[in-house]
Amino acid sequence: MNLLDFARGPALKVAIAVFCLGITWRIVAFALLRIRRDMNRPRASVLKFLGGGLLTVGSRSWPHREFIGRTGAGEALGYSYHIGLFALVLLFTPHILFLGSLFGVTWPGLPSSLITVISVLTLTLFLAVLFRRVTNPVMRMLSNFDDYFSWFITMLVMVTGLAATAHFGARYETLLAIHILSVDALLVWFPFGKLMHAFYIFPSRALNGALLARKGATS
Partner 1 sequence: MSLFNEQLTVGESLRLHGISRRGFIKFCTAAASAMALPPWMGAAMAEQLHQAPRPSVVYLSFQECTGCFESLTRSFAPTIESLIFNVISLDYDDTLMAAAGDAAEAALTKAMKDNFGKYVLVIDGSVPTGAGGAYCTSGGRSAVDTLREAAKGAAAIVCVGTCSAFGGIPFADPNPTSAWPVTAIVGDKPIINVSGCPPIPEVITGTLLQFVSTGQVPDLDEHRRPKAFFGNTIHDRCYRRPFYDEGKFAKSFDDEGARNGWCLYELGCKGPTTYNACATIKWNGGTSFPIESGHGCLGCSEPGFWDKGSFYAAQSSAEWGKGGAPSPRRVLEVGGAAVAAGAVLGVASAGVSRLRQHRSEQNTADRDKKEG
Which of 46, 114, 166, 201 touches partner 1 by CB under 8 A?
114
- Tell me: does residue 169 bind partner 1 (CB under 8 A): no
CA pair distance 210, 219, nearest whole angstrom = 9
- Tell me: does residue 185 bind partner 1 (CB under 8 A): no
Q: Do 97 and 108 form a contact (C-beta atoms < 8 A)?
A: no
Q: Do 60 and 219 form a contact (C-beta atoms < 8 A)?
A: yes
- Tell me: does residue 144 bind partner 1 (CB under 8 A): no
Nearer to partner 1, 37 or 41 (CB): 37
CA pair distance 214, 210, nearest whole angstrom = 6
Q: Where are the alpha helices (DSSP H) in the chain?
A: 3-8, 10-31, 46-59, 68-91, 93-103, 112-135, 137-142, 145-166, 172-189, 197-214
- Tell me: does residue 2 bind partner 1 (CB under 8 A): yes
- Tell me: does residue 136 bind partner 1 (CB under 8 A): no
CA torsion 104-110-114-118 (nearest 10°) is: -60
- Tell me: does residue 39 bind partner 1 (CB under 8 A): no
Classified as helix, coil or strand, 92 is: strand
- Tell me: does residue 167 bind partner 1 (CB under 8 A): yes
Tell me the window of 65-73, 109-117, 122-130, 148-156 that interacts with partner 1 (CB under 8 A). Answer: 109-117
Nearer to partner 1, 34 or 65 (CB): 34
Nearer to partner 1, 147 or 173 (CB): 173
- Tell me: does residue 168 bind partner 1 (CB under 8 A): no
- Tell me: does residue 109 bind partner 1 (CB under 8 A): yes
How many residues bind partner 1 (CB under 8 A)? The answer is: 50
Q: Do 15 and 192 form a contact (C-beta atoms < 8 A)?
A: no
- Tell me: does residue 90 bind partner 1 (CB under 8 A): no
CA pair distance 127, 81, nearest whole angstrom = 10
Q: Which residues of the chain form contacts with partner 1 (CB under 8 A)? A: 1-2, 4-5, 8-10, 12-13, 16-34, 93-95, 97-98, 100-104, 109-115, 167, 171-173, 176
